Chains A and B, each alone.
Chain A
Amino acid sequence: MTTTAIPPEARRAPAAAPKRRPRREREGAAWVFLSPWVLGAIVLTLLPMAVSLYLSFTDYDLFNPPKWVGVRNYAQMFTEDPRYWRSVVTTLTYVVIAVPLQLALALVVALALKGMKRGKGFYRSAFYAPSLLGASMSIALVWRAVFNDGGTVDNLLGTGGWVNKPGWALLAVALLTVWQFGAPMVIFLAGLQQIPAELYEAAAVDGAGKGRQFLSVTVPMLSPVLFFNLVLQTIQAFQVFTPAFAVSAGKGGPADSTLVYTMYLYDRGFVASHMGYASAMAWVLLLVIGVVTAVLFRTSRSWVFYASEGDR
């Protein structure tokens, strides 16, 4: 017993030893703090990614062991499955309609609110509210009813119910996304407020009118925020699910016109139990989102302006 009883001074001594100890201690502490994230990254992200890549080359129904089929899933997807292409076209159409409209509206409203003295806080919050509510099943069901035969939009425009028309149902889904422009709007507004007023004053002194100021000051100064919103909203739009599910009563109709990519993936994997096929679809989605993001980043070099670089 006496041998283990180290006097307190001796125990504290190594801590006082120069330099090395605190650094190592901090490194150890960092990994303790990081451990839940590391575990999650390995077990719930990296490993599943590898497994889903493997499964994409197999036939797997959850019950029998996976059977290696090489690239058959991919071949079938690209050459023999019209519904797959239908879902690709539907998703791309949706992204191309919803994202630009949503961002344009967000920017217009942010510009309108920017210089406002009274009521700015109120409008900001009120326009933001749909961004939180819109993702819910409740609102998706409202959308289906409002755009249905006999719904408000039908009564107003005599459309006969978009939800039942193959060409129009997807537009109803896209409008639900556009309706949620509040989140990018709030980010735009915060970006606009960070543009120094001196820049506008200097431009005005140089004889620039409002339009010129917008093009030469606002647009370049706002471009990083615009880029951020564009990337984020595009990635999210590729993964749309709930509104398409609700509007089409879970079927992707009419005539597969709202069968977005993730809904077809759900259908193949979890309804038809073709987990291998669904995994192949998931990997194509991963690659497409990766490529789209990379392209956006590449093109951003020519139009996104970072103030710190601009100083030179």
Chain B
Amino acid sequence: MTSTTVAHKPVRWGRVALHVGCLLALLVMLYPLAWLLATSLKPADEVIASLDLLPSHLEWANYKTALDGVNDVSIWRLLGNSLLIAGGAVLGNVISCSLAAYAFARLRFRFRGPLFAFMIATIMLPHHAVLIPQYIIFNQLGLVNTYWPLILPKFLATEAFFVFLVVQFMRGLPRELEEAARIDGCGPFRSFFQVVLPLTRPALITTAIFTFIWTWNDFFTQLIYLFDPDKFTLTLALRSFVDASSTSAFGPMFALSVIALLPIVLFFLAFQRFLVEGMASSGVKG
């Protein structure tokens, strides 16, 4: 039975070629990641001299060196600093962006149109146009070389991309729910917290994950605002390898690179659906 059906079913060579092509493309694309992982486990003399991707033996000492920290700052300190900044940013963005988005998506107020247009325009605003005065403000407040300049702006909904993302999502929610809530005596605050916010959870999760990953990866802002080695994040600690790039430090440098990348990889594996769909929905409507 089965053999006859198989015989009747033509092999779709086009499809096979498509999959082969996709897999080859993936292989090329994932090579840098495999290289990173392999190099983080290579002995010092094989990093440059050897062409093999795989190390002759696994040099776990690279990770031991990386775990000892950078510039006498322990890796746990660096990790903690990174987590603090990323965690603060996530909290700030989720709270402030959902508040602003609710007003734009659901409430009427004067100048709503122009303010919304302004908010959208700030998505395109290059960060550099506001960077120097922001730096001066934080400098005068004595907050340079603290985490405040990296966290505080997120509590003021400065990342308009996420306001827009949440607005788009909230617009898709049925209005009847809020109208029902209003008839039951809910004001805008209760209807926000008890009706709209719980339904907005997917958009808020997307916002949280993207904020975490982008803040974790951010280099420029951290480079400008932080200069005590014990305030450094993992990203900034990696930077100290950039200046002094002796071959012997290669293995530990890439071991630290792997460690710095690990949270993003884990987030990606755990939340890829939210990430991919969050990205897709940001572009399709609007």
Contacts and interface: CB of A to CB of B under 8 A. Distances in A.
B122 A45 contact: yes
A215 interface: no
Interface stretch (B57-65, B83-91, B131-139, B198-206): B131-139
B108 A30 contact: yes
Interface string A255-282: 0000000100110011000010011011
Contacts of A269: 132
Interface string B242-286: 110100001001100110110011001000100110011111101
Interface stretch (A68-76, A94-102, A141-149): A141-149
A248 to B, nearest CB: 9
B264 A136 contact: yes
A44 B156 contact: yes
Nearest to B235: A137
B241 interface: yes
B189 interface: yes
Given A139-B32, A282-B132, A112 B21 contact: yes
Contacts of B19: 119
Nearest to B104: A34
A133 B21 contact: no
A190 interface: yes
B69 interface: no
Nearest to A180: B29
B26 A127 contact: yes
A189 interface: yes
Interface in B118-148: 118-119, 122, 124-134, 136-137, 139
Contacts of B32: 139, 142-143, 146, 179
Contacts of B127: 239
Contact of B261 (A55, A138, A190, A235): A138
A26 B272 CA distance: 38
A107 interface: no
A275 B242 CA distance: 25
A78 interface: no
B33 A125 contact: no
Contacts, number: 259
A74 B21 CA distance: 51
Contact of B107 (A33, A126, A194): A33
Contacts of A29: 107, 187-189
Contacts of B128: 239, 262, 265, 281-282, 285-286
Interface string B207-249: 0000001101101100110000000000100110111010000
Nearest to A179: B29
A40 B158 contact: yes
Interface in B1-40: 15, 18-19, 21-22, 25-26, 29-33, 35-36, 39
Given A45-B158, A133-B261, A138-B36, A286 B132 contact: no
Contacts of A293: 124
Given A125-B272, A191-B283, A245-B219, A278 B124 contact: no
Interface string A216-253: 00000000010011011001001101100110011000
Contacts of B156: 36-37, 39-40, 43-44
Contacts of B163: 37
A187 to B, nearest CB: 4
Given A141-B238, A190-B280, A250-B242, A228 B18 contact: no
B260 A34 contact: no
Nearest first, the 3 A-B pairs at minimum CB distance are: A40-B156, A187-B283, A48-B133
21 contacts: A26-B107, A27-B108, A33-B107, A34-B99, A37-B163, A41-B119, A41-B122, A48-B129, A49-B130, A51-B133, A131-B279, A137-B257, A138-B260, A145-B39, A152-B31, A231-B124, A235-B124, A249-B245, A279-B133, A286-B129, A293-B124
